[in-house]
Structure 1
Amino acid sequence: MNIENLIPLPTLSTHYKVEISFFNNLIEMGLLEIKTIEETQYIHPDAIFEIEKMIRMHQELAVNTEGIDVVFNLLQKIEDLQNELTSVKNRLRLYES
């Protein structure tokens, strides 16, 4: 991957006014993937939407990183259940026709 497409973690920290330790906690919990190149941590631009949600939860709702982990796991389960429900509905339509 080209380094020009990646966002340095310190730049992200400065832009969102969030400490690096917040991102490190997210990384430790598996909520954030990083790529380390020459001792600098980078984030893929596709992750920005999710990162912004996590930052809003942390800053505006005072949710700690453990709470963010729980919320994101529940959101993932909801999405999985919605996909399964759609699949079951599609199969049911086959039998109804």
Structure 2
Amino acid sequence: MSTENFIPLDTLCIHYKVTLSFFFDLSENGLIDIEEIAETHYIHQDSLHEIEKIIRMHQDLAVNIEGIDVVLNLLQKIDALTTELHTVRNRLRLYEN
């Protein structure tokens, strides 16, 4: 398997100043997916935005991993409700005209 679109966990640990166990804890809680290729652990580059959001919550707001899980679930629900609200408003406009 090619590592072209993957970032080594060691690199992320150095860049974000977190421990390797932090990423494994996130993986155990289902928040990120870690790929192991040739005995090296990687994160797919598409996950980087979500990982940065998680690290900011953990470092800047001192939120633990369980709290991060709750926050991310609530943010997903807010996004889904916002999308649904826009859909309902657009349908309503059709009937108003």
- Equivalent residue, structure 2, for 1:13: 13
TM-score calculated relative to the size of structure 1: 0.91
Equivalent residue for 1:58?
58
Q: Which residue in the other structure is 2:90 paired with?
A: 90
> What is the percent sequence identity of the aligned residues?
65
**Corresponding position: 1:36 with 2:36:** yes
TM-score, normalised relative to structure 2: 0.91
* Letter in structure 2 aligned against 1:21: S
Question: CA–CA distance in 1 between the matches of 2:29 and 2:82?
Answer: 25
Q: Specify the SS of the correspondent of 1:3.
A: coil
Deviation for aligned residue 1:38 = 1.6
Amino acid in the other structure paired with 1:12: L
Q: Does 1:24 align with 2:53?
A: no
Runs of 4+ in 1 over 4 A off after TM superposition: none
| Amino acid corresponding to residue 46 of structure 1 in structure 2 | D
Matches within 5 A, 1:69-84: 69-84=69-84
List runs of 5+ in structure 1 lacking aligned partners: none
Indicate the RMSD between aligned Cα atoms, in angstroms.
1.3
Segment of structure 1 superposing worse, 57-66 or 35-44? 35-44
**Aligned counterparts of 1:44 and 1:89: Cα–Cα separation in 2:** 36
* Deviation per residue, 1:29-63 (Å, 9 max, x gap): 11112222122221111211111111111111111
Return the letter of the residue paired with 1:84: E
Residue segments in structure 2 that go unaligned for 5+ positions in a row: none
Q: Could you list the per-position Cα deviations for residues 15-37 of structure 1 after superposition, in whole angstroms to 9, with x for gaps in the alignment?
A: 11100111111111111122221
The code of the aligned residue for 1:85 comes to: L
Q: Tell me how many residue pairs correspond in the alignment.
A: 97
Deviation at 1:2, TM superposition (A): 3.6
